[in-house]
Amino acid sequence: MRFDVVSIFPEYLAPLELSLIGKARTDGLLELAVHDLRAYTTDRHRTVDDTPYGGGAGMVMKPEPWAQALTEIAAATPAGPGGRRPTLIVPSPAGEVFTQKLAYELAEEEHLVFAAGRYEGIDERVLDWAAEQYTVRPISLGDYVLNGGEVAVLAMVEAIARLVPGVVGNPESLIEESHADGLLEYPVYTKPSTWRDRAVPEVLLSGNHGKIAKFRKEHQLRRTAARRPDLLERLDVANFSKTDRNVLWDLGYAVVDGRAVLRGDDRAEND
């Protein structure tokens, strides 16, 4: 899989040389290139921004350096045998929200190009124009505003790249983790079994795999209900076991039409 990142702060992306992503690059599982947007300017000051039409605060990124950079990247990496065009990810607080589901979807692509904006963002015409060569996707890291797209690129590249086969040593760890099955992960512990008067839950020392799995599922449900009830309410629980349904009931949820619905809600009461 190939990643290209365009930014006015290429050095911001240096952490992608470290840890699992760095190793995957060295091992040839991932190709990643970072491009300095200013290299595609033509004036003495290497200008990448200008004042916004219509007035208002801040500056807007000029379209031409982006067009030059994106044309060069697309030309250097022609579509593979499948003929799939590269995906251009434009980090933006006004984009669709990045999730694990989206990370899995993007990990299926051959070539992702990231356009890390700064200032008030990139001239909107670039997105329109780029759609001739790329599948363009404005994507948000969450409902808050960062100073620039680089942090969003770091987060997205890491979340996507670790799903590429071989990048994470033990693929099992991708199955048992938060958001893999729509729930948050259960709490985890390591040695010593008692630390500062706090003991690890007894069942985890029992060696009884059935009981451990039951404990973990219960705690996934408890944690998700406490911290992210929105996830629980979106989950398909139609095939939940009796034990899991009992946990849901304890947590205040009834199962209605395959969904967990808070008791007290009309839908649960009318069931």
Binding site for ligand SAM (CB under 6 A): 91-94, 116-118, 120-121, 140-142, 144-149, 152
Residue 118 or 217: the one with the smaller Cβ distance to ligand SAM is: 118
User: In the complex, what is the shortest distance from the CB of residue 253 to ligand SAM, in angstroms, rounded to a whole number?
Assistant: 31
Residue 88 or 141: the one with the smaller Cβ distance to ligand SAM is: 141
User: In the complex, what is the shortest distance from the CB of residue 122 to ligand SAM, in angstroms, rounded to a whole number?
Assistant: 6
H/E segment holding residue 268: helix 266-269
User: In the complex, what is the shortest distance from the CB of residue 147 to ligand SAM, in angstroms, rounded to a whole number?
Assistant: 6
User: In the complex, what is the shortest distance from the CB of residue 4 to ligand SAM, in angstroms, rounded to a whole number?
Assistant: 16
User: In the complex, what is the shortest distance from the CB of residue 150 to ligand SAM, in angstroms, rounded to a whole number?
Assistant: 8
Rounded distance between C-alpha atoms, residue 213 and residue 190, angstroms: 17
User: In the complex, what is the shortest distance from the CB of residue 3 to ligand SAM, in angstroms, rounded to a whole number?
Assistant: 16
Q: Mapping DSSP to helix (H, G, I), strand (E, B) and coil, where does residue 122 land?
A: strand
Cα dihedral: 217, 220, 223, 224 (round 10): -120
Residue 56 or 210: the one with the smaller Cβ distance to ligand SAM is: 56
For residue 238 the two structure tokens come to 């139609």
Residue 6 or 183: the one with the smaller Cβ distance to ligand SAM is: 6
Residue 87 or 224: the one with the smaller Cβ distance to ligand SAM is: 87
Residue 3 burial (CB count, 10 A): 24
Amino acid at 183: L
Residue 5 or 183: the one with the smaller Cβ distance to ligand SAM is: 5
Rounded distance between C-alpha atoms, residue 253 and residue 109, angstroms: 39
Residue 8 burial (CB count, 10 A): 21
Rounded distance between C-alpha atoms, residue 56 and residue 250, angstroms: 53
Rounded distance between C-alpha atoms, residue 268 and residue 271, angstroms: 5
Amino acid at 180: A
The DSSP result for 158-179, as a single string, is HHHHTTSTTSSS-THHHHSSTT
